[in-house]
Structure 1
Amino acid sequence: MYLGIFSSKSPKKDKIPSVHTMAYNVDPEASCYVGVHAYQRDHKDQIHAFYEMFFECLEGFFAEIGAPQRILIFRGGLSDSVIDEIADYERMQIERAIDKYREDSSFKDEVQKWDPKICYLDVSRSHSRFTVDTGDRVYENIKPGTVIDKDVVETANDFIMASHEGRLGTTRPAEYSLKYSTWPESDILDIKVLCNNLCHLLGRSPYTVALPAPIRMANFLAKRCREFKLANPNMDFDYPNFPESSKNTAYFT
């Protein structure tokens, strides 16, 4: 299961509430995504409805594919100053939702011994730029798939990846930070490959993109939620009153 989580916080002087979204795949090929969202009056980074949103994602994934044995989470929309605190909070909510689903699910025979492994990555666009010196003071963009995981990263769990080709100007890579993981060590080695492959699976783009599809989809959903509230003639920001027909569909693409 691939899950993107994104937070779009409004300025305090803005009347529009903050939007928190999750987008997850509903096919084994990780090419089709649906999402859930929540509006939040305050401007805090913590998602108050995280437990309910993640539980809904589990239900949707289970109904389409089955119980996920591995869950790869991409978290975006947070600053470096709060990510560790938020990651700890969300980890507790994830474990709580999994325990609750295991107890209350109508598929008890299938989930009785279900213990999914979680990998949680913080993802953002990097401010670093890299070029290749080809000689004679000629510099070219780095090749797609280039990974930088030493010297310029803060910890051993961080890496910078340019999965896309810089078609205009200098390539702006993405920065990944592994916050926690219960995956086996052998599977953790595949994370970079998975991140790169997911950048090829954004259905609305014919090109490889800079960020993995799950977090891009969550970002698209956040933008659509904000636009929906801006177009609401009643300016009722208290409830996420999307039409019922839009549930379990990729309406935000």
Structure 2
Amino acid sequence: MQTMQSTSKTEPVDWACEAGKDAPLLVALSASCNVYFTSYFSTWRIMSEATASPAPLMEEALRHFLQKMRRLPDTVVIYRGGVSDSQQEVILEHEMHHPTEGILAAFDRLAEVEGQEPWRSKVSVAYIMVRRSMNIRFMTEEGDNLPSGSYIDEDVIPGLDADNPVRSDFYMISQTYVRGTARPTLYTVLYNTLNFSKMETMQLTYRLCGVYMTFAGKVSTPAPLKYVAKLLSLLSKCNYVPREPTGQLRLWRPNLFFV
């Protein structure tokens, strides 16, 4: 399955978490549920720092996708709100590869419970870290901002490892700046079994920056990441947040009620 064809069922996903000092972590996820990226499923959990993982939320989103589409997605692209370079490998091991709490383990459980073992052997996954707090800036030789859609994937990319062919990094400027200097977004692909090229991954990322429903132009990060940031912002302002959506709140999950 590839990115934007009407016959495909791609599920770009984003998750992020926020926590105050000595407070439990608020973990949220927003996942697209159709090929046009206009239908989303959003959920959250309150977890301790030791157990914080997007795996339960991923299972919940995939079950909703199965119920809605009558099948599971062939491709799952995960955009993870960025952490520092020093934390990336630890986060990757815990969130993707943990034998019981990781996302890959969640896929295994879902396939077993739902009788979808053939799907598990075919699904392709990418786990992409997204960082906006970058000091680097890029300009043309004339000193102008780079146009929307510009990307840089060599020479100045941090953390490239010749011994790790899976990892790849690229900067992208998706939005158009009228004032000031464009601030790029750094995307780090830490896990990748996709059956399409790096260029197609960048094209998917760029197109997702153009389908954020509250803005007519391009935004700085993919739409699922913007939605989950909105959800976290709303939940963090509430006097009381249940540990997970319950009761009537469960009916809100397929709607972008927080936008």
Q: TM-score, normalised by structure 1?
A: 0.84
Counterpart AA for 2:218: T
Identity of aligned residues (%): 22
1:132-172 CA distances to partner (integer Å, 9 max, x unpaired)? 232xxxx2111111101112111171110001101331111
Moved over 6 A (4+): none
Query: Which residue, out of 192, 203, 208, partners 1:193?
Result: 203
Deviation of residue 246 (structure 1)?
2.1
Helix, strand or coil at the partner of 2:237: helix
CA separation of 1:127/1:62 partners in 2, compared to 1, >3 Å: closer, same or farther?
A: farther
1:142 alignment partner in structure 2? 146
2:162 paired with 1:164: no
Deviation of residue 77 (structure 1)?
4.1
2:81 paired with 1:76: yes
1:90 alignment partner in structure 2? 95
Root-mean-square deviation (CA, aligned residues, Å) is 2.0
2:186 paired with 1:175: yes
In the alignment, the residues of structure 1 paired with residue 79 and residue 51 of structure 2 have an alpha-carbon distance, to the nearest angstrom, of 15
In the alignment, the residues of structure 1 paired with residue 190 and residue 51 of structure 2 have an alpha-carbon distance, to the nearest angstrom, of 18
In the alignment, the residues of structure 2 paired with residue 167 and residue 63 of structure 1 have an alpha-carbon distance, to the nearest angstrom, of 44
CA separation of 1:101/1:74 partners in 2, compared to 1, >3 Å: closer, same or farther?
A: same
Query: Which residue, out of 4, 15, 22, partners 2:29?
Result: 22
1:104 alignment partner in structure 2? 113
Larger radius of gyration: 1
2:5 alignment partner in structure 1? none
Q: Is the 8 A contact 2:28 2:231 kept in 1?
A: yes
Deviation of residue 187 (structure 1)?
3.5
2:139 alignment partner in structure 1? 131
Counterpart AA for 1:82: Q
Deviation of residue 238 (structure 1)?
6.6
Q: Is the 8 A contact 1:7 1:78 kept in 2?
A: no
Counterpart AA for 1:32: S
Counterpart AA for 2:179: L
Query: Which residue, out of 52, 55, 77, partners 2:56?
Result: 52
2:255 alignment partner in structure 1? 249
Counterpart AA for 2:127: Y
Structure 2: 5+ residue stretches without partners: 1-10, 162-167
1:153 alignment partner in structure 2? 157
Aligned residues: 232
Helix, strand or coil at the partner of 2:188: strand
Q: TM-score, normalised by structure 2?
A: 0.82
The 5-angstrom pairing of residues 220-235 of structure 1 reads 220-228=230-238, 231-232=239-240
2:10 paired with 1:3: no
